[in-house]
Structure 1
Amino acid sequence: MTKQADVVVIGGGITGTAILHELAKYNLRAILVEREPELAAGTTKANSAILHAGFDAPEGSMKARMNVEGNKMYHDLKDELNLEIRWSGSLVAAVDDEQMAVLKDLLKRGKDNDVPGLEIWDGNTVRESEPNVSKDVKGALWAPTAGICWPFGLALAFAENAVINGAEILRECTVTGITVKNHSVTAVETNQGTIETKYVINAAGIHADEISRLAGDDSFYIHPRKGEYILFDKTAQKDLVYCPVFPTPTKMGKGILVCATTHGNVFVGPNAQDMSDDEKENTAVTIPGMDETLEKARRLVPNIPVGATITEFAGVRAVSSTGDFVLGPSAITRGLIQAAGIQSPGLTSAPAIAKYLVDGIASEMSAARKADYKKGRPAQPCFRMLTNADQKALIARDARYGRVICRCETITEGEILDAIHRPVGARTVDGVKRRTRAGMGRCQGGFCGPRVTQILARELNIPITEVRKEMSKSYMFYDKETQSGGKA
């Protein structure tokens, strides 16, 4: 296979999909390549899901600029793309005079970064807003423009809109090389063939330094930093918080917080563990990590309902050697555009990063905006949120919406079929889970998992032994004869 493109985006996380969404607004041939069967399978699926206000990053940094701009952009994108966002505000809590001084520094930095509405509250005001916060909290920085979101849903929305507008996504497409001639990018080599191109945008997350080196640029490196989380059942929210509650930050990050989700769950985390360079894929949770996460979360909210725990998970952050986002054209290889080192506040910054980079490419190529650009994406049915009358009407149109597959979350077969057959459809069990919540309830897929597996095999027309949990080799079944997953 040989394909032609004006721009190839490497990486299907929140940054890569936001860039593809922005590229699709122009008369450009854009292709995104992702090595896994699902988009957002890396850091995007395992982070704190917070749209930060923008007071933390140093003034003048790319992090500060992109954070504040991205936050503003999401207010418009929420309705345009039907994004799961709740503008909850956030609190940074202080427990002593030294930390109260840090809050004043954050307030000044936020004002320097043009973050609106920041206030320092006293402890009583904090507890009026969040009654379960520790009595030791002396005060907090209130940021009303912060919010919580569903990161996978954001990435999927960007990708679906891009595909509707003519962009192409190649999944299970691993980059094996980048061809450079006369110091300029000419092609991307993959396991699915060659893509001839003028520009490559490197949004490869924790592997961005490796992709950069393939194009001859070793000007930065990515250091992996793991963070572990504990997720609680929806019943725990009454004992915890409504908005994100942070500790005062340290050089390792924003710290272990207590936070609600858009779906009604609550979590605590992440801790911060610097990993070796060969542990970029290490997302294992550990007993010491869980102990540390609980201990520090209890400093903010003492009565953590551990019995309501339903799962633990971890993500790996892409910490850049530069200390900031690495954005813009490579100084070494023409046509290589970096979107690297995208750790927090990368989720918030994604649409601003996309606009910043794509504006530059469009200007260089004199690319015109599409006259027929289509906003939005197909509506995604959510059976449990409908009125009884609307549920009955939906079932009358398609009886499969009356067949509940996931009892914990009341997810129907109709919703699962929609998830599989959308413009960027589910290809794995976790792909269905993240699009519909089937398997995200108290039993964590114990009841619905086998049925989802059967539906995937039927709809994708593959043997049930080829159905995967999430990653390319994560087969749900093991064949004793071949001692492997997948085909016998």
Structure 2
Amino acid sequence: MYDVIIIGAGVSGCAVARELSRYQVKACVLEKAEDVCCGTSKANSGIVHAGYDAMPGTLMAKLNVRGNHLMGELSEELDFPFSRKGSLVICREKDGLHRLEELKERGEKNGVEGLKILDREQVLAIEPNVSKDVIAALYAPSAGLVCPFSLNIALAENANENGIEFYLDTEVQKIRKTELGFWVQTSRGDYETRYIVNAAGVYADQFHNMVSEKKLNITPRKGEYYLLDKSAGTQVTRTIFALPTNFGKGILVTPTIHGNLLVGPTAADIEDKEGTNTTADGLAAIAEKAGQNVSGLPLKKVITSFAGLRAHEDGHDFVIEEANDAPGFIDCAGIESPGLTSAPAIGEMVAEILRKKLGLTENPHFQGRRKGILDPSKLSMEERNELIQKNPAYGNIICRCEMISEGEILDSIHRPLGARSLDGVKRRTRAGMGRCQSGFCSPRTMEILSRECGIPMEELTKSGGESRLIAGTNKDSF
């Protein structure tokens, strides 16, 4: 019998798990994928939003601003990359000026600090590659960039180190209310718990509707992206937004925390909750619209395209509350943009609900700091040479595009909730994220995974499940 079961190991579920680990509690996270950060959380813009977009009074507005405020301190505690680069909302027509004013007023009501409307000359002075048609822009200095993988994984690792159990490859199939709480049927056995936190992304409505008569509806909203090579990463230095519409913030252009350039997303409501395929129409729309706000985009430098799904709830707000007719079932649903930014605040909010409900006391052994994977590129040459002398694996470069060493890959495998797939290594180290997109480093990474994890080469996967990397090969050859 658990006190709390969290369904979903995305950024919201892991943020709840990390905050909950501050208390003495028996809790676990159930995740259907082979790793954390495999759903909505792995495919987004990596932007820490300032908080001017959400309507005042909504949970989105409150938690966006709080999450933005927490992100800097959290990045220091958990050792993941974060930078406040700022953002601009570009206005190219005079009839859009009042919408910039509305966004500024909305942001100020939400508690966003430092918002300014810049004129054409001021905009071009700080971002010379934006459209020459620009007449004004809303500048938000508190906006920033984060690595969504690093944030999600850091939260999960720290939660796990503080006693929260994680069960991966464990798909929740049914939930039933019981006298003591809930019975949870999964693909790997049954669990009992007093409380459930429903952080299941696009599937949150399905679990909610198993226990509540007040139905929830989540629509998968697909967003497609282009990722450009690092040689294009200086095209802009801040996130460049179009004026937002009812379908979101439009096609943006932004540097990434690691120095690439990201362009997207589209916004298309679909029915398939696994529909993360890119489309010719979607990618064409990105190419057409992105150039409206940033001139000279070098789209010939695209190294990959991808798509993610946002969990759009009909009321267009976060749903974070205990179900009225299912005591003990706490929804953490409808977490679309700015969900990544809001995650630290979502974790606080849900953990506080559970603290009060369960009467939890502080965990005297809670360790709030976590050290990430060592990045040798941040060391001086002298320090790097000393490191290689102590551990020669750091002198063996596996991924040449991103200059990732065997030492870093070994760390990604052997740390808490370590990588067990090619994508698991990629998310933790960036091995395979460069210009060749794993074309050269994947065989060597696979050899390391097989050796360290004791997994036969023919059973290694790209991302769990049936995504095996080697097929039609005689096992005796290994």
Q: 1:437 aligns with which of 430, 437, 443?
A: 430
Contact preservation (8 Å) 1:217, 1:330: no
Instruction: Confirm whether residue 11 of structure 1 aligns to residue 5 of structure 2.
Output: no
Contact preservation (8 Å) 2:203, 2:218: yes
Amino acid at match of 1:202: N
The 4+ residue runs of structure 1 with deviation greater than 6 A are none
Instruction: Confirm whether residue 281 of structure 1 aligns to residue 274 of structure 2.
Output: yes
Q: Deviations over 1:192-232 (max 9, x none)?
A: 22221100000000111111123345521100110110010
SS in 2 for 1:479: coil
Whole-angstrom CA distance in 1 between matches of 2:335 and 2:387: 41
- Which residue of the partner structure matches residue 203 of structure 2? 207
Amino acid at match of 1:89: G
Amino acid at match of 1:286: T
Instruction: Confirm whether residue 380 of structure 1 aligns to residue 373 of structure 2.
Output: yes
Matches within 5 A, 1:122-133: 122-133=119-130
Following TM superposition, by how much is the alpha carbon of 1:291 offset from its aligned partner in structure 2, in angstroms?
1.2
- Which residue of the partner structure matches residue 460 of structure 1? 453
Whole-angstrom CA distance in 2 between matches of 1:87 and 1:353: 21
- Which residue of the partner structure matches residue 245 of structure 2? 250
Contact preservation (8 Å) 2:198, 2:204: yes
Following TM superposition, by how much is the alpha carbon of 1:69 offset from its aligned partner in structure 2, in angstroms?
0.8
Whole-angstrom CA distance in 1 between matches of 2:34 and 2:342: 25
- Which residue of the partner structure matches residue 119 of structure 1? 116
Whole-angstrom CA distance in 2 between matches of 1:142 and 1:217: 44
- Which residue of the partner structure matches residue 99 of structure 1? 96
- Which residue of the partner structure matches residue 159 of structure 2? 162
Instruction: Confirm whether residue 53 of structure 1 aligns to residue 46 of structure 2.
Output: no
Contact preservation (8 Å) 1:330, 1:338: yes
Contact preservation (8 Å) 1:209, 1:218: no
Q: 1:74 aligns with which of 71, 74, 78?
A: 71
Q: 1:312 aligns with which of 275, 280, 305?
A: 305
Matches within 5 A, 1:248-397: 248-276=243-271, 279-397=272-390
Following TM superposition, by how much is the alpha carbon of 1:365 offset from its aligned partner in structure 2, in angstroms?
1.3
Whole-angstrom CA distance in 2 between matches of 1:369 and 1:181: 28
CA RMSD in angstroms comes to 1.5
Instruction: Confirm whether residue 191 of structure 1 aligns to residue 192 of structure 2.
Output: no
Whole-angstrom CA distance in 1 between matches of 2:23 and 2:88: 39
- Alignment gaps of 5+ in structure 1: 483-487
Contact preservation (8 Å) 1:164, 1:377: no
Amino acid at match of 1:233: D
Contact preservation (8 Å) 1:185, 1:215: no
Q: 1:237 aligns with which of 233, 239, 242?
A: 233
Following TM superposition, by how much is the alpha carbon of 1:302 offset from its aligned partner in structure 2, in angstroms?
2.0
- Which residue of the partner structure matches residue 87 of structure 2? 90
SS in 1 for 2:250: coil
Q: Deviations over 1:225-253 (max 9, x none)?
A: 10110010000123x21110000000000
Amino acid at match of 2:58: S
Following TM superposition, by how much is the alpha carbon of 1:75 offset from its aligned partner in structure 2, in angstroms?
2.0
Q: Deviations over 1:34-92 (max 9, x none)?
A: 11111111111110111111110000001001101111111211111112111101111
- Which residue of the partner structure matches residue 477 of structure 1? 470
Whole-angstrom CA distance in 1 between matches of 2:221 and 2:66: 26
Amino acid at match of 1:344: S
Following TM superposition, by how much is the alpha carbon of 1:480 offset from its aligned partner in structure 2, in angstroms?
7.0
Contact preservation (8 Å) 1:229, 1:267: yes
Contact preservation (8 Å) 2:6, 2:196: yes
| Larger CA deviation: 359-368 vs 15-24 | 359-368
Whole-angstrom CA distance in 2 between matches of 1:181 and 1:5: 13
SS in 1 for 2:363: coil
SS in 2 for 1:213: helix
Whole-angstrom CA distance in 1 between matches of 2:76 and 2:215: 39
Q: 2:400 aligns with which of 397, 407, 424?
A: 407
TM-score by length of 1: 0.95
SS in 2 for 1:70: helix
Instruction: Confirm whether residue 29 of structure 1 aligns to residue 48 of structure 2.
Output: no
SS in 1 for 2:60: helix
Whole-angstrom CA distance in 1 between matches of 2:80 and 2:95: 39
Q: Deviations over 1:81-134 (max 9, x none)?
A: 112111101111100012211100000101111111100001111111111101
Contact preservation (8 Å) 1:69, 1:352: yes
Following TM superposition, by how much is the alpha carbon of 1:471 offset from its aligned partner in structure 2, in angstroms?
3.6
Contact preservation (8 Å) 1:186, 1:196: yes
| Larger CA deviation: 123-132 vs 371-380 | 371-380
Q: Deviations over 1:322-358 (max 9, x none)?
A: 2211111011211100000000010111111111111
Whole-angstrom CA distance in 2 between matches of 1:75 and 1:17: 18
Whole-angstrom CA distance in 2 between matches of 1:179 and 1:274: 30
SS in 2 for 1:78: helix
- Which residue of the partner structure matches residue 220 of structure 1? 216
Q: Deviations over 1:241-298 (max 9, x none)?
A: 111000000000011000000100001000111112xx11111111211111011110
Contact preservation (8 Å) 2:78, 2:372: no
Amino acid at match of 1:450: P
Aligned length: 476
Whole-angstrom CA distance in 2 between matches of 1:471 and 1:260: 30
SS in 1 for 2:163: coil
Whole-angstrom CA distance in 2 between matches of 1:385 and 1:291: 38
Whole-angstrom CA distance in 1 between matches of 2:213 and 2:396: 53
Amino acid at match of 1:84: P
Amino acid at match of 2:45: S
Following TM superposition, by how much is the alpha carbon of 1:385 offset from its aligned partner in structure 2, in angstroms?
2.6
SS in 2 for 1:115: coil
Whole-angstrom CA distance in 1 between matches of 2:232 and 2:354: 47
